Structure 1
Amino acid sequence: MEKKEIRKKILEYRETIDENQRKMWDEEIFKSLINSDLYKRSNTIFAFVSFKSEVDTHKIIKHALSSGKTICVPKINSKQEGIKIYKIENFDQLKEGYFGIMEPVESCEEVDSSTLDLILMPGVAFDRHGGRVGYGAAFYDRFLSNMSKQVYKVALAYDFQVMDTVPMDEHDVRIDGVITEREMIITE
């Protein structure tokens, strides 16, 4: 399947998942992440702020903040500028922004990618080899390719979003792992 077809199929299906079912899966993903050495060893975490039917990151962000971790979230001012990284002190520092996605308020401090220890990524489909199909705007691929250091990149997704293989283009950046409600996949 092509990326466009995968996006359509997975996103349509993800929207049909019962909210209670999704909450149960989100809880399993939350527990798996916060109990992982990866999370425990990370001091500064860059996390996407979940939107619509994505795996819920609101609870993860709040937990990390209450655990004394530094949390950074993305902000998109324009397609040309791409993703900028901002540190938040609490969840109230988020307001609706680009495409209706929660973003940091203007008073938040912009930080450099070199401070990050862990990146929690969104996406549509993934495979066990680090393949990722995003939403099509290439925001994360551009962001990751411009990073000054190697940072562990883990996607949060539901089990049905993991495929045998996903199509990858030359500019696509591979990820290091995927956490679903069923397992933690470390890519080969």
Structure 2
Amino acid sequence: MKKAALRKEFLQRRKDADERRLIEKNALIVLNLEKYLHSKAFGTLHTFLPQLNARETDTFGIIDMLRKSFPAMCIAAPYIIPGTREMEHYLLTPHTHLVINQWRIPEPDPLTSEKILPDSIDIVLVPLLAFDRRGYRVGYGGGYYDRFLPQTRPDCIKMGLSLFEEVDEIEDTDEYDIPLDACITPGRVYNFRDQ
């Protein structure tokens, strides 16, 4: 399938999903990520924050787990520069003041938060709607992560979080699409780097 069709299908699947089942899926994603991180040594993890009322993967549950299980890890989150398709990145602490942007996405307040550079990030949790067995993803179409991910180090892990399992193939990928290194779903951890 092509990106536009997959985007439409998976937005609808997320909308139609049972609320209790979504809570269970989010809890399983947290558990699978925690197991994955225990075998690694990451200093800084970058995560998106979920759009309010959009039924995205609940990264606030992930942040709670990180603070309990990996207290030495720094957590960062993006801030979209208004009027652009660029993001800045700020540390996310228990004291970080969050503001809600025009898409109803919480973001660190750039006036009171500590900015970090992309090359200091060890792993990025990437938002998506669908992904395929090669590690390509369908995002929301804004291109923010397609611009951000090339700014990270080559060894930075690009990890998708998906409420649903893989599709066979996204047919219309191009040279601007950056494949994921891994993806975590409620059912498993997909590793694409070793393929």
Scaled by the length of structure 2, the TM-score of the pair is 0.89
Percent identity among equivalent residues? 29
Letter in 2 for 1:74: P
Which deviations, in whole Å up to 9, do the C-alpha atoms of 1:111-160 show, x marking residues without a partner?
01111111111111101211111110111011112334430011110224
Aligned twin of 2:99: 95
Whole-angstrom distance in 1 between the partners of 2:129 and 2:83: 19
Partner SS, residue 35 of structure 1: helix
Give the residue type in structure 1 aligned to 2:127: P
* Contact 2:96–2:113 (Cα < 8 Å) also in 1: no
Q: Deviations over 1:61-106 (max 9, x none)?
A: 1222343221000110235351111102116522212411010012
In terms of mean alpha carbon deviation, does 3-12 or 29-38 score higher? 29-38
- Separation (CA, whole Å) in 1 of partners of 2:34 and 2:176: 31
Amino acid at match of 1:133: V
Amino acid at match of 2:55: S
Segments ≥4 residues shifted beyond 6 Å: none
- The 5-angstrom pairing of residues 73-112 of structure 1 reads 73-78=77-82, 80=84, 82-90=86-94, 93-105=97-109, 106-112=111-117
Per residue, is there more helix in 1 or in 2?
1
User: Superposed, which structure 2 residues align to 1:47-62 within 5 Å?
Assistant: 47-51=47-51, 52-62=54-64
Computed over aligned residues only, the root mean square deviation of the Cα atoms, in angstroms, reads 1.8
**Residue 142 of structure 1 aligns with which residue?**
147
AA matched with 1:32: N
Q: Name the counterpart of 2:3.
A: 3
One-letter code aligned to 1:127: D
| Counterparts of 2:112 and 2:178, CA distance in 1 | 31
d(CA) in 2 for partners of 1:116, 1:28: 25
Q: Which runs of 5+ in 1 are unaligned?
A: none
Which amino acid in 2 is paired with 1:128?
A: R
Match of 1:36 in 2: 36
- List alignment gaps of at least 5 residues for structure 2: none
* Aligned residues of 2:48 and 2:127 also touching (Cα < 8 A): yes
Determine helix, strand or coil for the equivalent of 1:53: coil
Query: Structure 1: how far apart are the matches of 2:2 and 2:153?
Result: 31
